[in-house]
Amino acid sequence: MNRLLIASIPSLILSQALVTHAGLTEKTILDQQAASGGKKAYIQILEPTVEQRLQSSGLITQTPEQGEVVLTDKHNTQYYGTFLMGSQNQTFTGVLDTGSSNIWTPEKSCLTPGCEGKEKFDPDLSQTFSTNGQPLSIQYGTGSMQGYVGYDTVTFGGISVTKQGIGLANQLSNNFQNSPFDGIFGLAYKSIASDQVTPWMDNAVAQGLIPKAIFSFYLSNSPGNGAGRLIIGEPDPDYYQGDINWHSLQSLETGSPIDFYYNIAFDGIAVNSDSIPLTCQYQGKCRAIIDSGTSLIVGPANDIASIQNALNINPDCSNLDEQPDLVFTIDATKYTVPPEFYIVKQVDWWGQEQCTAGLAPGNQDFWIFGDAYMRGFYVVFNKTDSQIAFAKLVDELGAPQEMRKHFTSHPMIVSDPIQ
């Protein structure tokens, strides 16, 4: 049975905050997310939902186990989960973002349009809250927050960290208006945290709540509530099959620290068996950030154009059955992303279909492997040992056989990165 979901897709970028560290401003590519500019969009799923597949496999339960966070999937572009703050367990939703490091939500005093309709933290209700009024400002690709730093208990996946630094926004830019989540839950390293606030995972280890800062993602490939999971701790074999392939994190640039983002080195990208010449190969290194807060696969403009030309997707969607796999080689291991993950099908109000690849050009020489890549695998992040891993999903969680459709009144656009 077809399901029709109606949602507003804001033009919002949610990854890799521009931060200042030791006097050095670190500019990065932000999420090149396909968005509808705040217009209404209609998303039709033409197959059984992932929730149904998970329920049949016994992986979805009404009450997640400790260390599990249920992910809500909106449009295959935003994945967010729930966390609690304060002594009264005030509840919030946030994008679980491996491309940034701060946790923040709106504060009760926030009256800007970006805060409308969101849950707001009330410090007066929490007996464990404290603050010294330290100001906090975070700039995203299109969107920003201003507020201050507070400290309180934050519970995530049933695990409670005390005296966790949190951002409380008293101003949110209009880009956050109508977004379906309240804030952001950053999962990257302290070195890129605004105001050098210690991330939740680091504090959980320091307080003896978990032995290592290890967590993993299963991102669903069909929009719906409660389909995906973030799992804190060792990888869960219910979600993957075969071997887990580990890769050491690498610096983005020679001589720069490793513990910024989750950066890996990769060997190349192929369309089926045909290798695509990449700019980074001529430079002697290819680097990518694995980022749950970025919707698409982002790379240098010329390289993205080469891949798109090799795919040769007809705009009228007439050759979808002929589309190849994208094959990413990392440390000589091949990882295949099928077209069901990277092709976006759009249908306008007149019923005309348009198809495009979920790829976006960036203005830097490194890549971002966002949700369009991550959905194809069970992905494990090991902050403690500076590693990341990919494994094959169990069969019942594999790619859908029918491509999703985005019904919209105008073509999807790609937002500009910070210059």
Token representation of residue 96: 């679980």
- The residues, ordered by sequence, that sit 6+ positions from 194 with a Cβ below 8 Å of its Cβ are 17, 19, 20, 101, 102, 136, 137, 138, 167
- Sign of the dihedral through C-alpha 305, 220, 347, 317: positive
Which residue, chain included where needed, has tokens 């070195």? Answer: 191
**Catalytic pick among 291, 325, 365, 371:** 291
State the Cα angle at 308 between 305 and 309, rounded to 5°. Answer: 85
Measuring CA to CA, how many Å separate 317 from each of 51, 343, 355, 391?
27, 10, 5, 31
What's the rounded Cα separation, in Å, for the pair 250 and 265?
6
Interatomic CA distance for residues 278 and 256, integer angstroms: 22
Cβ–Cβ < 8 Å for 47, 400: yes
DSSP per-residue codes, 262-273 = -EEE--EEEETT
Q: Taking CA 201 as the corner, what is the angle to CA 133 and CA 388, rounded to the nearest 5 degrees?
A: 135
Longest dimension (CA), the chain: 61
291 is catalytic: yes
Give the 3-state secondary structure percentages of the chain, helix then strand then coil, rounded to 5: 15, 40, 45
Q: Any catalytic annotation for residue 97? A: yes
C-alpha distance from residue 416 to each of 2, 33, 79, 226, 363 (Å) = 34, 9, 21, 31, 9
**Between β-strands 297-300 and 359-362, what pairing exists: parallel, antiparallel or unpaired?**
parallel
Torsion of CA 75, 78, 82, 86, to 10 degrees: -140
Over the range 230-241, which residues count as b (16 or more CB within 10 Å of their CB) and which as e? bbbbebbebbbe
Kindly state the DSSP code that residue 107 receives in the 8-state scheme: B
Considering 31, 73, 97, 182, which one is annotated as catalytic?
A: 97
- Cβ-based neighbours of 92, under 8 Å, separated by 6 or more: 82, 83, 84, 85, 105, 119, 121, 182, 183
Match 């970006």 to its residue by tokens.
114
Residues 263 and 289: beta-carbon distance below 8 Å: yes
List the catalytic residues: 97, 291
